[in-house]
Amino acid sequence: MKAAFLLLSFLSGSVPFAYILYRVFRGEDIRKRGSGNVGATNALRAGGPGIGLAVAALDISKAAVPVYLALSQGREFAFACGLAAVAGHCFTPWLGFKGGKGVATYVGASLVSTPLSALAGLGLFLLAALFSGMVSVGSLSFALAVPVASFLFYRSKVLMALQILASLVVIYRHRGNIGRILGGKERKVWKGFM
110: CB partners within 8 A, 6+ apart: 79, 82, 117, 118, 121, 146, 150, 163
Residue 189 counted as domain residue: no
The C-alpha atoms of residue 62 and residue 58 are separated, in whole angstroms, by 6
The C-alpha atoms of residue 74 and residue 72 are separated, in whole angstroms, by 6
Statement: residue 193 has pLDDT above 70: no
Choose among 3, 22, 1, 17: nearest CA to 108.
17
Residue 57 counted as domain residue: yes
For residues 61-78, average pLDDT: 97
Using the Cα atoms of residue 50, residue 21, residue 113 and residue 143 in order, give the sign of their dihedral: negative
Residue 64 counted as domain residue: yes
Q: How many domains does the chain have?
A: 1
Residue 107 counted as domain residue: yes
Q: Quickly count: other Cβ atoms within 10 Å of residue 65's Cβ.
A: 16
Residue 187 counted as domain residue: no
Statement: residue 194 has pLDDT above 80: no
The C-alpha atoms of residue 44 and residue 183 are separated, in whole angstroms, by 25
Residue 55 counted as domain residue: yes
Digit-coded pLDDT (tens) for 17-29: 999 999 999 999 9
The C-alpha atoms of residue 168 and residue 50 are separated, in whole angstroms, by 30
The C-alpha atoms of residue 84 and residue 41 are separated, in whole angstroms, by 21
**pLDDT band for position 187 (cuts 50, 70, 90):** confident
For residues 117-140, average pLDDT: 96
Q: For residue 175, what are the domain limits? A: 2-182
Residue 45 counted as domain residue: yes
For residue 148, the surrounding DSSP H or E stretch is helix 135-154
Residue 188 counted as domain residue: no
Digit-coded pLDDT (tens) for 82-128: 999 999 999 999 999 999 999 999 999 999 999 999 999 999 999 99
